Structure 1
Amino acid sequence: MLDYEDYSPEDFAADPTFRKWVLNPDPEVTRFWDGWQQDHPEQSIRLHQARELLLAVQALYSDALTGDTIRRESLEIARLAGTRPIPASRRFQIWGVSSRKIAASVLMVASLTWVVTRWLPETPAAHTIIAARADSLIVKTNDTAGEMTILLADNSVAILGPGSSITYPRRFGLGDRQVRLSGEAFFDVARDPQRPFLVYANETVTRVLGTSFRVRAFTKENTVTVLVKTGRVSVYPEKTHQNGKMETDPERDGLVLMPNQQGVFIRDQHRLEKSAVANRALLTESVMSRELIFDDRPVTEVLRTMEKAYGIHIQCDTGLLARCSISAQFSDENLKQRLNAICEAIGATYEMVDGQVLIHSKGCS
C-alpha cells in the first residue's frame, strides 16, 4: 500500500488510481479514495488541488494523458507559480513558456469554502428571480440571446443557455444538492462525495458527485441529452429515482456515463440510450469566446473585466489589491480555473456566496 500521506498535489495527480477516481471511476476505486479522504481530512486541500490540476492538464492532452505528462506540466506550472518578480509592484507571470498550455493548466491551489445549509422542497419554475429568505429557492430564466453564468453556494457553476431556466436553493443543505433545469446548461460541479448533485430535467435525474457535464432538456423537445466532459455521471428516469432504485443497479435502472459519452432519454418511449459524443464542442463550458489577455495589469482591472465577460459580480477590497498586478493569457479555461489562477498569483482565495464571488486577500506588499 502506498503511503499517500506524504504526497504532494502533483504526486496525487500523477497517481494512476487517483486519476481513475477523478476521470473514470469504478466502485472499487471510489470506495478506496472516498474512504481515504474521510480518514485523512487534513489532506482535503491537497486532494482538491490535485483534482483541479489533473482536470486542467487532461483538458489539453485528452487521451494522451499520462503520469509523466502530468509530472512534466506540474513542474513547469510550479516553477511559474513560484516566480515572484519585483515584490514592490507584485507582478506575477501566468503566461510564459508554452503559454497556451500553461495558461490552461495553472495550478489551482486557492482553497475553497463550502457553504452548508438546508434544501427546501422544489417549487414550479417561474420567470422572475425569487429571493426572499436566506434559505429560499432562486429561479433564474435566461431571456437573452447569450449565456448566463449562475454561481451556486457550493462553488459549483452553471452556464445557462438562452431560453432556459434553473431553480436552485440559495444554500444547499446537508443532504443531496438539488437543482431543476428547463432548457440547456453546462455544469461544473464541486466535488462532495457526501452530498450528490442532482439535476432534475424533463422526467430525468442526473446524479454526480463532482464533475462537468451538459444537460439539454427543452420542454418542447422529445429528448433529454446529457453529455459528460469529466468524471462519472449517472442518468435515470425520474420515476426510477422516486421509487428509490437509483442505488440498486445503475446500469440496469439507468445509464452510467464516462467522459466523452452521452445519454439520450427518449421521452415518449421512456427509454435511455448511450453513445459517444459526436459534437465535441458541446463539451466546452461556453459556446462564447472568452479569450482574455492581460499584460502587467492591475488585478482590480482584471477582475472587472471578468465581471463583464461572465455577467457576474466579484467583490474585493480594492484598497488591499491596489498594488497587485498580473500578466495572464486565458483561452479555453473555465471560470473556476481562471479564478483559481488569479487568486494563486496574488496569494488570495475566493468563495461563492449569494450569487457573487468574494475575493479574500491580505494585499500585495
Structure 2
Amino acid sequence: MNIEQEDQILQLLTRYLQNNVQDDERKFVEDWIVESESNTTYFEDVKRIWSTSENIEDFDKINVDEQWSKFESGINATAKKKPKLNKVYLKIAASIVLLIGLGFYFNSFFNTEVILLAKTGAENKFILPDNSIVWLNEGSQLTYKKDFKGNSRQLNLKGEGFFEVTKDANKPFIVIANTTQTKVLGTSFNLKNNTNTKEVELVLVTGSVEFSSTNHKEILVPGDRVTAKANGKLIKAVNESLNFSSWKSGILRFEKTSIEQVIKDIALYYNKNIIIENREFANCTLTTIFDNESFEDVLETLKILFDVTYEKNDSNNIVIKGGDCNS
C-alpha cells in the first residue's frame, strides 16, 4: 500500500468501525480484510486502537501535534519520524498516548502480537510472514510476533495445526505447545495440543524435526509419531493412523482397520459419542474411504455393510447395535 492508498483505506476503516458506511463500502471493507493476512493484521491494529480511543472523553478536543510531540519524546531517536498517517488516525493514536502512556503504546502498536483463531465451518488456512502455511483445526489458536522479529520464527499453539514450513536455515521455525517445543528448518507436520489431558502429539509428514519437552528430546523422520505426556515423558513410535490429519483434508481412510478403531476415528472427526454394543462386531475390519461425507451418510454405509442399527440413548450417545462381519 502506498501512502495515498493507506490514507484512503484508513479513513474507510474508521468509518466502518463507526458503522458509518454504505452497503457497498461495507462489502468492500469486509472483502479487503480477508484478502490477505497483512490486511487482517492491519485492520486488527486499527480496531484495537479505535476501541481504546472510544472510551476517552472530549475526543475531538485532542491536540494531535501536542500529543504526538509528547510521544516522540518518549521513544528512541530511530523511531522519531512521524508516521505518514492521516489526521483521524493520528488523533486515535494520540488519544491512546493520553490514556495508557507512551511506553505501553509504543510496545503494543509497533510490536504487534498476531493471534490467529480458527473459526467453525471455515477452512482456516493462513499464510505466515515467511510464506509458511498453517491450517488450524476449529477452536485452535496460533500466536506469534508480527513479521517474526528476532533470531527465530517462534509461535505458540493452542489446539491443533498442520504446518508446511518454508525452509530458512538461518532462522529456525519453533512451535511451543504446552511444555513442548518443536524445532524445524523446513518440513510439514501435524501438531496437536490437548488442553484437557495436557498431552501433545506430533506426526511428521516430510523433513525432520527436533521435538523436546522439559527433560527429553527426540529427532523424528517422516512417518514418526511422538507423544509428550503431561509429565514430560516422550513416547516415540511409527505412525499407524491414516486419519491423523482428516480434520484438515475431510477424508477418512481405512485399510483393513478394526471397527473399534474405525468408530474412534469417526467419533473424533464428527465430534460424536459413539458406543459399540456388540463387542464381536468391534473386531470386524473395514477398507473404505469417506470423502467429506455427512455423519448420517457414514452411519448409513455401516448399516448397509454390516447390518447394524443405531439409536441415541438418554445421554445423547449414539449406540451401534448388532453387526455381522460377513454381511
Q: TM-score, normalised by structure 1?
A: 0.37
Whichever of the two has the greater Rg, that structure is 2
Q: TM-score, normalised by structure 2?
A: 0.42
- Say which structure, 1 or 2, has more relative contact order (CA 8 Å, 6+ apart): 1
